[in-house]
Amino acid sequence: MEPSGLTLINGEPASDLPAQDRGCMYGDGVFRTVRVVDGQPQWWRFQLAKLRRDADRLGIPSPGDEAWEDDLRKLVGAGGLAVLKLVLTRGSGQRGYLPPERVQTHRVAMLAPFPEQIERVAAGGAVLRICALRLGEQPRLAGIKHLNRLENVLARMEWDAPDIHEGLLLDAAGRVVGGVSSNLFIFVGGELLTPRLDRCGVAGMARERVMGIAGRLGLTVRETDIRLDDVLDAREVMLTNSLIRIWPVGRLEDRVWTAWPIGHALRGLLDD
């Protein structure tokens, strides 16, 4: 449990949620992870917009952006790096899956230290393993950063070695979906390819930003089905999320990559 001063619930310092919160009981909520640099949340308006879109898909009413703005002001100081996690749950309910007639959501904002290793891995290339767990398909939940994350938990539990930086997730049909906590891009045939996320997977904010800025490098981005062989054959492989922005992949099984001109160029653009 972190000090309550670093967590706000509905804008008030607090560290606990009611056990009957539907987030706790059913994973009935959505979240975002935001990188904060010198008091500035990266991609803030995009993050809030995606949080709202995800909540909409689950029928969870969203607070106004000014509520999150208030949380940000209360939690975030002027200097350094931090991680701001935003969580929106459908609030407390009576017993059973049906939401109450009048939903009163819980808005959670948590500040945490920024992970240390991110820039080091970005410079040297990430080591990727292939997870045994295969993602199930659920179009109704695909792409949403929701709180039903047991697949990610089980996949992440497959390894403990600190020199492995991320696990690659495939679906039951053998298509590559992304990393356990990241999205995937491959550079092949002069274009960027990234897995479709309409059957499973989480559509992260860094993925959206890469798709938004790739054109500045003259690159097209295409969402498509990607097989493991496509990844192994790619000129470059990149992982993205809001904290790492881009990690170029240095190794996957026996395949090694040592130069990442596209990855580094995109990473520079993302942080501009």
Nearest to 103 by CA among 132, 149, 71, 63: 63
Report the residue from 45, 95, 102, 120 that binds a copy of itself according to the rule CB under 8 A. 95
Burial zone of 77 (CB within 10 Å; 0-12 exposed, 13-18 middle, 19+ buried): exposed
CB of 27 to a copy of itself, least distance (A): 3
Report the residue from 3, 79, 97, 254 that binds a copy of itself according to the rule CB under 8 A. 97
Per DSSP, the residues of 74-141 read HH--SSSEEEEEEEEE--B--SSSSPPSS---EEEEEEEEPPTTHHHHHHH-EEEEEEEEEEPP-TTT
> Which region, judged by CB under 8 A, interacts with a copy of itself, from 110-118, 120-128, 186-194, 248-256?
110-118
Handedness of CA 138, 29, 238, 210 (dihedral sign): positive
User: Under DSSP, is residue 165 helix (H, G, I), strand (E, B) or coil?
Assistant: coil
Instruction: Give whichever of 7 and 42 is closer to a copy of itself, judged by the CB atom.
Output: 7
Instruction: Tell me if 59 contacts a copy of itself by CB under 8 A.
Output: yes
Instruction: Give whichever of 32 and 187 is closer to a copy of itself, judged by the CB atom.
Output: 32
Instruction: Tell me if 185 contacts a copy of itself by CB under 8 A.
Output: no
Instruction: Tell me if 44 contacts a copy of itself by CB under 8 A.
Output: no
Pairing of strands 106-113, 7-9: antiparallel
Q: How many residues interact with a copy of itself (rule CB under 8 A)?
A: 61
- Summarize as ranges the residues that interact with a copy of itself (CB under 8 A): 1-2, 7, 9, 14-28, 31, 58-59, 83, 85, 87, 89-90, 92, 95-99, 108, 110, 112, 115, 133, 135-138, 140-141, 146-157, 160, 172, 180-181, 200
